[in-house]
């Protein structure tokens, strides 16, 4: 990948960095050769990023050209938005207190150059702020209020404002940055685009196992896309990629949602997108959505402390209680009498003001229909765990147990099932969803719509084999081509 440093005047840039071209902002905006270049990262070091300045247009047009600007316009706006700065300070609260607890002054300014500070003891706080506000040179201002340090302001730093005494360290930081993993060109000359897969191999119940992740990578590379596994520590690197595939269990109050939001703001193709995460991870929302659109579902009511008596009266026993954000059968409880109901409600209300109460529909298995880009592409039966009413259960020792599974060709699935799954998925969007559906005779009802559904090697891919992974990556490539090149993908 080609690396460009964009400055107002190259004559004012005294630093020599190997394999990095220094270009003026005006030259970058006017050059037809640079406009047509691909696989370019643009490090915007112009004097100002204010609206309609040269620096602002460098980042704006870099994104339009399919280049990868650092900072992006989204980052520029984030640094101007006090609510975003406050949110960052809240998220880093403990680290901020730990980093500055021994300071005697009531104010402190932290200078961050390519994610580092001259003082090693501030490396961690610098790296975290750099991941949130991804710009080459950043200045963060802190103040002590009522014995607590607060992040007050974050902004870019013009090169001319950097003390000459910092230059030697800055050069070392820059050389380390550009010579590292992030700056190396792709291994293959035929790579057209790059994508990242967000994955945590230590997650207790990941949506994909390691073998499946490897198959996704292989499928991407077959389509001439460079594919890299990233972790939550790589937030600052999102602008380097053209697409993001989230293979961690998603939640709104979680780094996965932050990654999805930033990726979307940076113009990446992202699955699942933040809107899908918001919709699918909250069962209160899903209940209203299904009911409004006349999608068959178990009898359901939304429960709060003022109407909890309605559960027994309107749903009856046995019934199922769910936290709005439950996943993998966690935060889901079955109750069979009033005593169990009251105990379960007291427990679940500790984590949420609203709950879901649903009629209990006993079945031997749940259907799972995988839908991507509006099209069904795999079909599974998930059987209940042994001696349990859920497909996944946890014993007293904390070990998980699940039932067997059976994968079928889509063509062999009941037509009403496939049609219902496709219709319900369309209510969310055109991302990647897993529809959990129960069957009673010839009738079907939707239990849940999952974003980020399971794809494990040897389970969901039993019928399609490697073609399952190819189909997912083909959707990514199609969307990247249409977004980057403005033409229909063939």
pLDDT, position 332: 84
123 CB neighbour count, 10 Å cutoff: 14
Integer CA distances (angstroms), 83 to 89, 151, 258, 485, in order: 10, 11, 15, 34
Residue of higher predicted confidence among 228 and 52: 228
pLDDT confidence bin for 76, thresholds 50/70/90 = confident
pLDDT confidence bin for 183, thresholds 50/70/90 = very low
pLDDT at position 334 over 50? yes
Mean pLDDT across the stretch 297-322?
Answer: 90
Mean pLDDT across the stretch 180-200?
Answer: 68
**pLDDT digits over 114-145, tens only?**
999 999 999 999 998 988 888 889 999 999 99
- The C-alpha atoms of residue 438 and residue 421 are separated, in whole angstroms, by 11
- The C-alpha atoms of residue 334 and residue 359 are separated, in whole angstroms, by 10
What is the percentage of the chain residues whose pLDDT exceeds 70? 96
pLDDT, position 142: 96
Residue that is written with structure tokens 């003022």 in the block: 306
Mean pLDDT across the stretch 146-171?
Answer: 89
pLDDT at position 187 over 60? no
pTM for this entry: 0.70
Partnered with residue 451 across adjacent β-strands are: 433
Give whichever of 19-23, 286-290, 347-351, 454-458 has the largest mean pLDDT.
454-458
pLDDT confidence bin for 475, thresholds 50/70/90 = very high
- The C-alpha atoms of residue 375 and residue 91 are separated, in whole angstroms, by 38
pLDDT at position 327 over 70? no
Q: What is the 3-state secondary structure (H, E, C) of 246-313?
A: ECCCCCCCCHHHHHHHHHHHCCCEEECCHHHHHHHCCHHHHHHHHHHCCCCCCCEEEECCCCCCHHHH
pLDDT confidence bin for 446, thresholds 50/70/90 = very high
First to last CA, the chain: 26
pLDDT, position 198: 97
Mean pLDDT across the stretch 52-63?
Answer: 87
pLDDT, position 82: 87
pLDDT, position 425: 97
What distance separates the 2 farthest-apart alpha carbons in the chain? 79
- The C-alpha atoms of residue 373 and residue 138 are separated, in whole angstroms, by 39
pLDDT confidence bin for 40, thresholds 50/70/90 = confident
Residue that is written with structure tokens 């879901």 in the block: 356
The average confidence (pLDDT) of the chain is 88
pLDDT confidence bin for 15, thresholds 50/70/90 = confident
pLDDT, position 214: 96
pLDDT, position 234: 86
- The C-alpha atoms of residue 32 and residue 27 are separated, in whole angstroms, by 9
pLDDT at position 191 over 80? no
Asked which of 74-88, 95-109, 317-331, 432-446 is least confident by mean pLDDT, the reply is 317-331
- The C-alpha atoms of residue 451 and residue 39 are separated, in whole angstroms, by 30
- The C-alpha atoms of residue 455 and residue 440 are separated, in whole angstroms, by 26
pLDDT confidence bin for 181, thresholds 50/70/90 = very low
Mean pLDDT across the stretch 355-369?
Answer: 91
**pLDDT digits over 337-361, tens only?**
999 999 999 988 887 888 889 999 8
pLDDT, position 185: 37
Return the DSSP state at 233.
G
pLDDT, position 182: 44
- Sign of the four-CA dihedral 62, 64, 67, 69: positive
181 CB neighbour count, 10 Å cutoff: 7
Work out whether strand 137-145 and strand 107-113 pair parallel, antiparallel, or are unpaired.
antiparallel
Partnered with residue 378 across adjacent β-strands are: 370
Mean pLDDT across the stretch 53-61?
Answer: 89
pLDDT, position 384: 86
Mean pLDDT across the stretch 471-482?
Answer: 94
pLDDT confidence bin for 88, thresholds 50/70/90 = confident
- Helix (H) or strand (E) holding 459, with range, is none
pLDDT, position 356: 86
Mean pLDDT across the stretch 468-483?
Answer: 94
Return the DSSP state at 328.
T
- Helix (H) or strand (E) holding 40, with range, is strand 40-44
Integer CA distances (angstroms), 185 to 224, 265, 446, in order: 14, 25, 46
Question: Please, what are the domains in the chain?
Answer: 1-185 (no CATH), 189-272 (3.40.50.2300), 299-359 (3.30.1490.20), 363-465 (3.30.470.20)
Within 81-140, where are the H helices? 82-91, 93-100, 123-132
């Amino acid at each position: 990948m080609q690396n460009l440093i964009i400055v107002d005047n190259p004559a004012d840039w005294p630093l020599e960095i190997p394999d990095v071209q220094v270009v003026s902002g005006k030259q970058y905006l006017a050059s037809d050769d640079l406009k047509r270049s691909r696989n370019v990262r643009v490090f915007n070091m112009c004097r100002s990023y204010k609206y309609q300045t040269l620096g602002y247009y460098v980042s704006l047009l870099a994104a339009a050209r399919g280049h990868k600007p650092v900072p992006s316009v989204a980052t520029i706006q984030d640094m101007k938005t006090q609510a975003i700065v406050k949110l960052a300070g809240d998220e880093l609260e403990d680290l901020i207190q730990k980093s500055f607890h021994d300071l005697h002054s009531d104010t402190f300014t932290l200078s961050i150059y390519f994610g580092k500070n001259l003082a090693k003891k501030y490396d961690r706080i610098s790296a975290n702020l750099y991941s949130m506000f991804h710009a080459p040179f950043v200045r963060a201002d802190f103040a002590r209020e009522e014995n607590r340090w607060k992040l007050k302001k974050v902004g870019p730093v013009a090169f001319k404002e950097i003390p000459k005494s910092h230059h030697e360290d800055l050069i070392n930081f820059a050389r380390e940055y550009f010579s590292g993993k992030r700056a190396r060109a792709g291994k293959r000359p035929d790579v057209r685009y790059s994508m990242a897969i967000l994955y945590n191999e230590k997650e207790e119940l990941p949506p994909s196992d390691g073998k499946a992740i490897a198959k996704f990578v292989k499928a991407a590379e077959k389509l001439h896309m460079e594919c890299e596994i990233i972790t939550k520590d790589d937030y600052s690197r999102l602008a380097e990629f053209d697409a993001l595939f989230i293979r961690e269990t998603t939640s709104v109050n979680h780094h996965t949602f932050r990654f999805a939001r930033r990726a979307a703001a940076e113009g990446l193709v992202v699955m699942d997108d933040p809107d899908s995460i918001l919709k699918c991870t909250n069962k209160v929302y899903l209940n209203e959505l299904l009911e409004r659109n006349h999608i068959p579902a178990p009898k359901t009511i939304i429960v709060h402390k003022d109407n909890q008596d309605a559960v027994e009266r309107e749903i009856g026993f046995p019934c199922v209680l769910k936290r709005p954000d439950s996943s993998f059968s966690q935060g889901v409880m079955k109750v069979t009498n009033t005593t169990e109901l009251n105990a379960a409600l007291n427990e679940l209300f500790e984590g949420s003001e609203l709950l879901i109460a649903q009629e209990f529909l006993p079945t031997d298995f749940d259907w799972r229909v995988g839908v991507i880009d509006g099209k069904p592409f795999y079909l599974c039966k998930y059987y209940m765990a042994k001696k349990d009413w859920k497909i996944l259960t946890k014993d007293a020792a904390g070990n998980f147990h699940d039932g067997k599974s059976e994968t079928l060709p889509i063509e062999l699935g009941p037509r009403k099932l496939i049609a219902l799954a496709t219709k319900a998925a369309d209510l969310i969007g055109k991302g990647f969803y897993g529809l959990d559906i129960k069957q009673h005779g010839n009738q079907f009802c939707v239990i849940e719509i999952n974003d980020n559904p399971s794809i494990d090697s040897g389970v969901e891919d039993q019928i399609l084999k490697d073609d399952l992974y190819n189909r997912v990556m083909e959707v990514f490539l199609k969307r990247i081509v249409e977004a980057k090149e403005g033409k229909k993908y063939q």
